[in-house]
Structure 1
Amino acid sequence: MIKRAGDVLGALERALTVIAVAFMFVIMMLVVTDVFMRYALNSPFSFTYDLIGLYLLAGVFFFTVSDALREHVHVGVDILLSRFSPAGRRLSEIVTALVGLFVFVLICKVGLERAIENYEQQDVLAGAIPWPTWVSAALVPLGCGVLVLRLALQLVGNMLSLVTGRDLYPLPPVTGIGEARSFE
């Protein structure tokens, strides 16, 4: 059951990452085109800064945060983990998941309340194009909601693994002392 839930959640995370990659491509195209329009034709786009800052960058960040946790590519302080037993590492993962759940459930709640409030008030960004702010506010609870699901799965998986003594949920890899993982 844990494996199947992880597979379904992983598919959702990968889909959101594909959307984030598309957003990043759009950001690159907009910036290049806007620079060309500004310096070659002296007619820059009026919407580039707002579109990128309000929607696209938020989507890139919040749509990839859970997948980064799944792949263990987030920044982590694991200086002591190499000295822990597997049970100690599981306890560490449980504590981390509990703290993460507390924080990100609050972020989801506040983000959802803000998105709903912005939608009900028909809040828009003052500028050349009146961009609705609820869309960008909704990216926060959407991305953090998937992260909450990942943290809950990690919590349950690590607790069951600890209680049963079986490796039902994989532990994150630990690098040796003095080793560093490359970003490549």
Structure 2
Amino acid sequence: MEKFLTVYEKFLKLLTMLVGTIAGFLVMFCGFAIVWEVISRGVFHAPTEWVMEISTYCIVIAGFLGMGVAYAGKKHIHVDIFVSKMSPKTRTYAELVTCIIGAFYSYLFMVQSFGMMMLSIELNNCAPTTLGTPLWIPQSSMPVGFAVLLLQIVRTILEDIVKIKANDFTMDFAKEVNK
């Protein structure tokens, strides 16, 4: 199980890095687009029609793609007022339960958002804007983002199961993968 977990974590690290890089480029592009809009308006007195829409899509897509990245970096919101007072064993069991619940909801959101995206493709839904962007494009970030988040949560569940089986609650798998 530990060998599978190590391979799984290496794959997941690459996937998360790819998705995070895409999200980062989208945020960077959004920044450049907004600067271009400011220059176009202020210097050339010629506002653009596309910057607001594209910037919004970029930020939304980056947000969904960044969920798994944030989880992997332990940057999600934690309410640890009680957890910090628990023993490592109790903390592991509590994490396992919350991760199972999180996996359920991530799976549910992934499936529902995939259905929404497929419906947009089927109905050829487009944004009612000048660009007429097909809505499946920004919507596709939702199932992808939730899938990466789900895979990250499954990683945590597997790590917790290994800790419980080994009765070793000091294990840290992330350090082994980063070697």
- Fold match (TM-score > 0.5): yes
The equivalent position to 1:107 in structure 2, one of 77, 101, 109, is 109
Q: What one-letter code is carried by the residue in structure 1 that aligns with 2:130?
A: A
CA distance in 2, matches of 1:130, 1:2: 44
CA distance in 1, matches of 2:55, 2:171: 38
Map 1:14-163 → 2, pairs under 5 A: 14-53=17-56, 55-163=57-165
Structure 2 alignment gaps of length 5 or more:
175-179
Whether the 8 Å contact between 1:109 and 1:141 is mirrored in structure 2 is yes
* Residue 12 of structure 1 pairs with residue 15 of structure 2: yes
Whether the 8 Å contact between 2:26 and 2:58 is mirrored in structure 1 is yes
The percent of aligned pairs where both chains have the same amino acid is 19
Deviations 1:11-41 (A, max 9, x none): 1101111111111110000001101111222
Task: Name the Cα RMSD after superposition.
Answer: 1.7
**TM superposition shift of 1:160:** 2.4
Q: What one-letter code is carried by the residue in structure 2 that aligns with 1:103?
A: Y
Q: 4+ residue stretches of structure 1 with deviation over 2 A?
A: 166-172
| Alignment length (residue pairs) | 171
Q: What one-letter code is carried by the residue in structure 2 that aligns with 1:29?
A: F
Deviations 1:46-77 (A, max 9, x none): 01111121x21122111111111111122211
Whether the 8 Å contact between 2:109 and 2:143 is mirrored in structure 1 is yes
Deviations 1:57-105 (A, max 9, x none): 1221111111111111222111222221111111111011111111111
Deviations 1:93-151 (A, max 9, x none): 10111111111111101100000000111111111111000011110000110111111
Structure 1 alignment gaps of length 5 or more:
173-184
Q: What one-letter code is carried by the residue in structure 1 that aligns with 2:165?
A: V
Give the SS at the match of 1:78. coil
**TM superposition shift of 1:10:** 1.2
Say if 1:95 and 1:163 are closer, same or farther in 2 by CA, change over 3 A.
same
Say if 1:149 and 1:112 are closer, same or farther in 2 by CA, change over 3 A.
same
The TM-score normalised by the length of structure 1 is 0.87
CA distance in 2, matches of 1:86, 1:24: 38
Give the SS at the match of 1:125. coil
The TM-score normalised by the length of structure 2 is 0.89
